[in-house]
């Protein structure tokens, strides 16, 4: 029972991690499409409107020409209608809701951990001279501390693996 | 004699619904000195002119959770006091029995340990939470 819950939690955390990493990778790898609309784009960058001839839709692996920059193919695998891929990701309901969920949950980690440890403390206080009750209280406190350290390590790991940090 | 009634009636007619207002403080209508669950929420006038907690779903959840933590802290203090009193009574009525004396002493030590855990947790976790922001 406990083992199952542990596995489930670890699996969910890993899944969340992978999704965030994937989303951030896409956002950071967004190509510079047009120097007139994208202020972070300087001419001479790859993909800028540097006078290249207009692409033919048949030559493109995705079968489409980018709508903002006709010298480039539309990116393969997503139908963004000429938006840059970072904008496309921001409009994606899954990504935006996921970000909201991550922010909401990470704001609550400290509060939940402190609640668990205080419950453990109350359990300890009410244990009296009963050794098993003391043990249960200690186990609850230790579990709260494990949760806190797991979150800290996940946070540090995300800072390390995501370009630009969380 | 009628002044409070008139004040309430005027609130009913002239205060707009949704106006911000001050919720009652921590000492008002206290239950064993527990803080209120709306301690960290702002107030707004409800249709009856009363000041009600203005709870917005996702953003205010952790504010309520924080208030519940405050309630738990108070509960921990009360539990420790009651437990130590029980242990003291056990000590008095032990009448030389070594087992009872040991049990009472253990009870006192455990309640102090629990209180210490609660205090240390409150300090350390709030410190870590503040430094992460």
pLDDT in tens, B3-32: 666 666 665 566 677 788 888 877 777 888
Of B61, B83, B118, the CB nearest to A126: B83
Q: Is the pLDDT of residue A118 over 90?
A: yes
Question: How close, in Å, is residue A148 to chain B by CA atoms?
Answer: 9
Q: Is the pLDDT of residue A42 over 60?
A: no
Residue of B77, B82, B56, B65 whose CA lies nearest to B125: B65
A120 — contact with chain B (CB < 8 Å)? yes
The per-residue pLDDT for range B48-74, each reduced to its tens digit, is 878 888 888 888 888 888 889 889 999
> Long-range contacts: B125-133, Cβ < 8 Å, 24+?
B125/A110, B125/A113, B125/A114, B125/A117, B125/A148, B126/A110, B126/A114, B128/A110, B128/A148, B128/A152, B129/A110, B129/A111, B132/A110, B132/A155
Q: Which residues of B touch A118 (CB under 8 A)?
A: 69, 72-73, 76, 118, 121-122
Average pLDDT in the A79-91 region? 62
Of A107, A122, A152, the CB nearest to B76: A122
pLDDT on residue B98: 94
Out of A73-87, B51-65, B93-107, least confident range: A73-87
B78/B57 Cα distance (integer angstroms)? 31
B68 — contact with chain A (CB < 8 Å)? yes
Structure tokens at B44: 């707004």
A77/A63 Cα distance (integer angstroms)? 10
Which one is predicted more confidently, A135 or A81? A135
B9/B49 Cα distance (integer angstroms)? 9
B126 — contact with chain A (CB < 8 Å)? yes
ipTM: 0.76
pTM of the model: 0.62
Which one is predicted more confidently, A121 or A34? A121
* Radius of gyration from C-alpha coordinates of chain B: 23
Q: Does the beta-carbon distance from A128 to B121 stay under 8 Å? A: no
* Radius of gyration from C-alpha coordinates of chain A: 25
pLDDT on residue B48: 81
A112/A119 Cα distance (integer angstroms)? 11
A128 — contact with chain B (CB < 8 Å)? yes
B90/B94 Cα distance (integer angstroms)? 6
CB A34 within 8 A of CB A68: yes
Domain spans in chain B, listed from the N-terminal domain onward: 1-55, 60-133
Top residue of B37, B125, B132 to mutate, by most chain A CBs within 10 Å, is: B125
Q: Is the pLDDT of residue A132 over 60?
A: yes
Residue with tokens 């009856």: B48
A24/A161 Cα distance (integer angstroms)? 10
Structure tokens at B61: 């959840």
């Amino acid at each position: 029972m406990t083992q199952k819950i542990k596995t489930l939690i670890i699996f969910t955390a890993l899944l969340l991690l992978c999704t965030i990493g994937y989303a951030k990778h896409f956002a950071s790898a967004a190509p510079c499409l047009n120097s007139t609309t994208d202020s972070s784009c300087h001419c001479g960058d790859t993909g800028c409107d540097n006078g290249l001839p207009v692409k033919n839709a048949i030559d493109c692996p995705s079968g489409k020409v980018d709508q903002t920059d006709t010298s480039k193919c539309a990116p393969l695998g997503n139908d963004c209608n000429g938006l840059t891929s970072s904008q496309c990701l921001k409009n994606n309901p899954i990504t935006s809701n996921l970000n909201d969920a991550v922010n909401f949950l990470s704001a609550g980690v400290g509060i939940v951990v402190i609640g668990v440890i205080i419950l453990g403390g109350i359990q300890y206080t009410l244990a009296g001279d009963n050794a098993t009750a003391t043990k249960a209280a200690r186990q609850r406190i230790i579990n709260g501390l494990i949760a806190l350290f797991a979150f800290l390590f996940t946070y540090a790991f995300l800072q390390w693996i995501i370009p630009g940090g969380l | 004699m009628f002044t409070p009634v008139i004040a309430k009636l005027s609130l009913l007619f002239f205060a707009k619904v949704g106006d911000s207002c001050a919720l009652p403080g921590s000492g008002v209508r206290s239950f064993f000195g527990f803080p209120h669950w709306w301690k960290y929420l702002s107030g707004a006038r409800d249709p009856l002119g009363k000041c009600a907690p203005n709870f917005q779903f996702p953003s205010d959840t952790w504010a309520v959770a924080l208030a519940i933590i405050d309630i738990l802290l108070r509960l921990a203090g009360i539990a420790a006091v009651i437990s130590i009193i029980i242990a003291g009574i056990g000590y008095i009525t032990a009448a030389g029995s070594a087992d009872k004396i040991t049990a009472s002493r253990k009870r006192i030590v455990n309640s102090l340990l629990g209180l210490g855990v609660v205090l240390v947790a409150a300090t350390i976790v709030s410190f870590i939470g503040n430094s992460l922001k």
